Structure 1
């Protein structure tokens, strides 16, 4: 049986017999704010009620001991734009939560997230209304932040819950809007509850989680979804009422390789031969590959890459979530953290792959080429082999090649587990979705085991991966 087929749930959530009468005990928000949102809902059943945006949350009291002197009160609020939070404060939280700059995640930076907002990607008009949560101490110092959005759809998330929305709709309930804690349009694992490294950090984490729940109740949403969190957060949130879900991606691991050929020597002979043949075809097509960073990436490169990106989304019947200005913006703001791999034919750009450079990881994100162009194996070269060479050159631990694509396995990218957490406010739906996730988790684990059995590496390396 094909792995893709095995990933389908054995029972769709909405086809399960209803074990309950869904409750409707959530309190309705007060209509006191001048800023209202009329959310779009799944199907024709629309709720015309308005919601108060950016309500106040908290306060919360923190303690370091039983002494009254050591008590600290923090305020928690909602920022309707990341631009309301300084880049210094936001980035300090993002760096502190990882414990070291070695694990720096470029997607959690103020530069990346603000670029999405400033260029019209994550906005009210696109169904991504920023509702970032901010915790401050009594002196106004930022102790923690959460990237959060009020959403009227499920596009651009890479953790699929359409069957859940259908189940709500089939019982006459609204699944949208919902709260989404994530990096928009980006299936990259990283911390989601970003806290400063203080003696209160564990309590600030708990306060921010409680604030998420408080906000969900005040906005009268169906659910909270924290997608691609760290494994540590995933485990913590289980104890705080969140349902656990897993998924799968394909990552390449650097085993202290000094060159691409050294990496190939860890592969089975047939796989090694195939990769060499694929790479050889690039030169026979008169293609030249270049890896550009920082100021080497000019406006003309971004304009070309945007056309490549649009060609990809148009051909796959996808949606172009990102704007032309977004690419120019991250180039200006993020500098050397951006790598654009381009292919040239007679000095003309014909294809490109966008990567971001983290503390220990190269993140492959987007790919595209000229319309109606056909260059055999160029996709593999630009997205996978060039990324591996770059990671070896930069001494990075791994390459994350994004979601989907079993073809990545034979090119050195092996299955790894990804995580998400889901807080369902309605008790009946929470129970039904929880049962769905138990079955889905077993299927995902089984598929990963099968995929590893056909891995491209020598036996001892595949055993190492299975137990890592």
Structure 2
């Protein structure tokens, strides 16, 4: 793979070239927006805010996803012979496994104990964002499958040419997984909990789908969350002032510092989000005695509300559940959004109307011995994820089909 004058690298074939570029500056906004899912303005596309040009560029510009933080941009740019951008993949060379939410620390430890070198590795993802979305970006046309296949092969080539141990594509969409598995990547599964809006007209309409005991518990929980004179504001668009971001950042740093030790996002990141993505952003903020005391940031796609970070400076019973989960359901129903993705992990979401969903990632490992060991482990892990998902789906809060008429009627009065 030869060096180019602009610092990127390229691999040429008769039909296309793959370049490795360090920043989204190597793409024009028009080029990036031509890929499926990246632009809200493109009719008929399922917009995912995390793969938008703005979101990924903000992570770089704010200094959150840069070499100094262990996220060095190595984005793939797939070009036609005339230089036209055909596809892309957001990629980072990494010297650690932080901020990924698909954990491979055990693989790294085992390989290094055996004398191998696991880091650096190639990570194909949206940094600090455990939300499923496109990772092999292509246009919405008949050539999309071929573009994704070329990008999947390109990831393997880049991993080998840069002498990296592995490439990891996390929270990948289904058609990306097909291309990656076709290229020889190993499939890994995990579990999240999502809310599905079955065309509900209100939160009470959703509650009517729950068993009576669960329904009463959630009503009580919501009352108690606001019992200390707490009110809730939905802030988006021009509501997202710098003063509001100051408040939210204080919550984020306080809770993030206690939970993770080192929060990944800085104050500049939130200012840039407010400047460039305000209409795609929802802050759910809790207020008591005239000041904000807690909040959660969400991002709004074409049909999905993505819950991300939460923080608080006062502890109140059930306030976290109210701000992060119940209010997200309220907003999704109000706006007609189909899904709420409430982030990674958390079986406590099940009792609040969120359903288990399987997530997918793909992994290419260059060392034959490590690859065999990981492949064997993943077989067992996939079986366990499937078993747990089936169990949780059977033990959710929803009414069973055998519930009688009196139970359904009670949902209108309890």
Are residue 458 (structure 1) and residue 399 (structure 2) matched?
Answer: yes
Identify the residue that residue 193 of structure 2 maps to in structure 1: 250
Identify the residue that residue 352 of structure 2 maps to in structure 1: 411
Identify the residue that residue 223 of structure 1 maps to in structure 2: 166
Are residue 56 (structure 1) and residue 7 (structure 2) matched?
Answer: no
1:94–1:109 CA contact under 8 A, matched in 2 = no
Identify the residue that residue 407 of structure 2 maps to in structure 1: none
Matches within 5 A, 1:250-329: 250-329=193-272
SS in 1 for 2:332: helix
**How many Å apart are 1:100 and its aligned residue?**
6.1
Matches within 5 A, 1:381-420: 381-420=322-361
Matches within 5 A, 1:49-448: 54-57=8-11, 59-61=12-14, 73-95=15-37, 101-370=44-313, 373-448=314-389
**How many Å apart are 1:101 and its aligned residue?**
4.2
Displaced runs of 4 or more, over 4 A: 32-35, 96-102
- Unaligned 5+ runs, structure 2: 404-414
What CA distance in whole angstroms lies between the structure 1 residues aligned with 2:90 and 2:44? Answer: 20
Q: How many residues are aligned here?
A: 402
- Unaligned 5+ runs, structure 1: 1-28, 36-52, 62-72, 463-468
Residues 230-258 of structure 1 show CA distances to partners (whole Å, capped at 9, x for unaligned) of 12221332121100000000000101100
Compared CA separation, residues 145 and 317, structure 1 to 2 (3 A): closer
Identify the residue that residue 7 of structure 1 maps to in structure 2: none
1:101–1:359 CA contact under 8 A, matched in 2 = no
1:102–1:360 CA contact under 8 A, matched in 2 = no
Residues 94-131 of structure 1 show CA distances to partners (whole Å, capped at 9, x for unaligned) of 43899964521000001000000000100000000001
What CA distance in whole angstroms lies between the structure 2 residues aligned with 1:418 and 1:460? Answer: 27
What CA distance in whole angstroms lies between the structure 2 residues aligned with 1:299 and 1:112? Answer: 18
Compared CA separation, residues 300 and 183, structure 1 to 2 (3 A): same
Residues 169-188 of structure 1 show CA distances to partners (whole Å, capped at 9, x for unaligned) of 11111000000000000000
SS in 2 for 1:173: coil
**How many Å apart are 1:318 and its aligned residue?**
3.3
Alignment TM-score, normalising by the size of structure 1: 0.82
1:177–1:221 CA contact under 8 A, matched in 2 = yes
SS in 1 for 2:130: coil
1:245–1:437 CA contact under 8 A, matched in 2 = yes
Residues 39-75 of structure 1 show CA distances to partners (whole Å, capped at 9, x for unaligned) of xxxxxxxxxxxxxx73222x233xxxxxxxxxxx322
2:46–2:303 CA contact under 8 A, matched in 1 = yes
What CA distance in whole angstroms lies between the structure 2 residues aligned with 1:461 and 1:91? Answer: 48
2:282–2:298 CA contact under 8 A, matched in 1 = yes
What CA distance in whole angstroms lies between the structure 2 residues aligned with 1:232 and 1:140? Answer: 25
Identify the residue that residue 15 of structure 1 maps to in structure 2: none
Compared CA separation, residues 236 and 84, structure 1 to 2 (3 A): closer
Residues 65-100 of structure 1 show CA distances to partners (whole Å, capped at 9, x for unaligned) of xxxxxxxx3222111111221122112214389996
